[in-house]
Structure 1
Amino acid sequence: MNKLEMTEIIITAKTQSGLSWEAIAAQVGLAPAFVTSACLGMNSLKAEPADKLCQVLGLPAEVSTALQAFPHKSWDKTIPTDPVIYRLYEVVGVYGDTIKALIHEKFGDGIMSAIDFSMHIDKEENPAGDRVKITMNGKFLPYKSW
């Protein structure tokens, strides 16, 4: 079973279960953003959480095996048309150089890791309209001279 087939099976089971990603992640014991990413094929799970996820959704062992397989982290190189994803591209397009400049000013020449990384998505209620709060936390990796 490949990652695409795995994702289709998981999404179908999730829909039928009526469970949210947060509820599934809580039962698996990992963060919702990470569990969702693994279910969408962009990360892998270790055996125990993969098995737990399959138990929660009533999925066969083949799905657990696919969840444990290392992903090929590739995506379509064109600008996405889904409004949520497009707006994140817009944020990087508008603020990417600013983020880079501020990281370099505070840390020096280097990057934020997407490997030693966590992300949380929260809802902030606001009378003027609810707010999306995305918190990304990545280890700073300085460039080395040699």
Structure 2
Amino acid sequence: MNKLDVTEAIILLKKEKDLTWEAIAEYIGMSPVWTTSACLGMNSCSEDVASKLIEFIGLPSEAKAVLMAYPTKEWDKSIPQDPLIYRLYEVVGVYGETLKEVIQEKFGDGIMSAIDFTMDVDKEENPKGDRVILTLNGKFLPYKSW
């Protein structure tokens, strides 16, 4: 099995068993965002988490090594066609320079880590239409001079 095989198996079994990412995450003791990312092949699981995932979803035992393997984090460089993903590209396209300026004004010259990082997705009910709340929480990493 490879990452794609395991991801496809997870999606199929998730649908067959009418599971949610939230339920899977709760069972394995991880956040829903991280769990989803790992199931889609973009993060590696510890041995304990991989074992729990296999047990809960019903994956074959050979999926364990694949779930524990370090991923190559790559994606298609073209602009995505899926409207939700495209909107996130749009946010970065419109506000990327603004975020860079504001972050650097507050912290100095550096970046936000995507390694020492958490992300949450929440829902805010609103009479004018429900709101999506994305919280990106990354450690600030200053650039070094030498």
Fold match (TM-score > 0.5): yes
After the TM superposition, list the runs of 4 or more consecutive aligned residues in structure 1 that deviate by more than 2 angstroms. none
Which amino acid is 2:5 matched to? E
Q: What CA RMSD, in Å, does the superposition of the two structures yield over aligned residues?
A: 0.6
Q: For 1:46-99, what per-residue CA distance to the aligned partner results, in whole angstroms no more than 9, with x for missing partners?
A: 010111011111111111211100001000000000000000000000000011
Q: Which residue in 2 is equivalent to 1:41?
A: 41
Q: Does 1:51 align with 2:67?
A: no
Q: Which residue in 2 is equivalent to 1:94?
A: 94
DSSP 3-state at the match of 2:75: coil
Q: Which residue in 1 is equivalent to 2:30?
A: 30
Matched ranges for 1:1-146 at <5 A: 1-146=1-146
Q: Structure 2, unaligned stretches of length 5 or more? A: none
How many aligned positions are there? 146
Which amino acid is 1:79 matched to? I
Alignment partners' CA distance in 2, 1:103 and 1:68: 34
Alignment partners' CA distance in 1, 2:135 and 2:2: 31
Identity level (%): 64
Q: Structure 1, unaligned stretches of length 5 or more? A: none
Q: For 1:121-146, what per-residue CA distance to the aligned partner results, in whole angstroms no more than 9, with x for missing partners?
A: 01100000000000010000000001
DSSP 3-state at the match of 1:41: coil
Which amino acid is 1:112 matched to? M
Alignment partners' CA distance in 1, 2:6 and 2:20: 18
TM-score by length of 1: 0.98
Which amino acid is 1:86 matched to? Y
